[in-house]
A and B are shown apart, each in its own frame.
Chain A
Amino acid sequence: QKEVEQDPGPLSVPEGAIVSLNCTYSNSAFQYFMWYRQYSRKGPELLMYTYSSGNKEDGRFTAQVDKSSKYISLFIRDSQPSDSATYLCATVSGGYNKLIFGAGTRLAVHP
């Protein structure tokens, strides 16, 4: 079983839609959770991070962690064509703080 599971999509939505991107993880000891965004032909860039459970909001983006179900989500409100990218969830493992990534979900927002 992979430590972080993510549906690779692709996911296609119309402009203005609410997008929900999700991951599950296997180890209840994980505490830090991150979302990276990767545009075509670019390296991933950190979008948001959260610690433990709860929500974190940044503009149109909300990251949510449910530790009881080992589920992490990223919501995008009023999605825009510029949000079209691959979104990767990630967590930090072990005493060495090693990053572990999900497979990434490719999102397309069409006008």
Chain B
Amino acid sequence: DADVTQTPRNRITKTGKRIMLECSQTKGHDRMYWYRQDPGLGLRLIYYSFDVKDINKGEISDGYSVSRQAQAKFSLSLESAIPNQTALYFCATSDDGQGSGTEAFFGQGTRLTVV
């Protein structure tokens, strides 16, 4: 089984609909992240959480919200989807990076299309 699992893997939704992307992890890490990936723009951070009670906005949080339901679960919501939110979304986890840098472990990604 994958250490970081994202559901769904693919989703097509209509403009204005609410959609939730889910992420669960078995790494035992406190830190979890949501990124979106667009061609030529790389990975851009949407939200990050360093523990259940600590949630922070990333560089492109407008139009998104998150919920950290437990240490192992971090979900991303689009309250009212719009076409320019069409992208590949990744959830990731990491440890606290003490002493050896920070390795992030990524899920397989969710390909979201808003029509």
Contact = CB atoms under 8 A, between A and B. Distances in A.
Interface of A: 6, 8, 32, 34, 36, 41-46, 49, 51, 88, 90, 92, 96-104
Given A43-B4, A43-B90, A104-B42, A97 B97 contact: yes
A43 B42 contact: no
Contacts, number: 64
23 contacts: A6-B42, A8-B42, A32-B97, A32-B102, A34-B102, A43-B90, A43-B109, A44-B90, A44-B104, A45-B106, A49-B100, A49-B101, A88-B43, A92-B97, A96-B56, A97-B94, A97-B96, A98-B48, A99-B104, A102-B42, A103-B40, A103-B42, A104-B42
Contacts of A88: 42-43
Q: What band does the interface of chain B fall in when counting residues whose beta carbon is under 8 Å from A?
A: 20 to 34
Interface of B: 4, 33, 35, 39-43, 45, 48, 50, 56, 90, 92, 94, 96-97, 100-104, 106-109
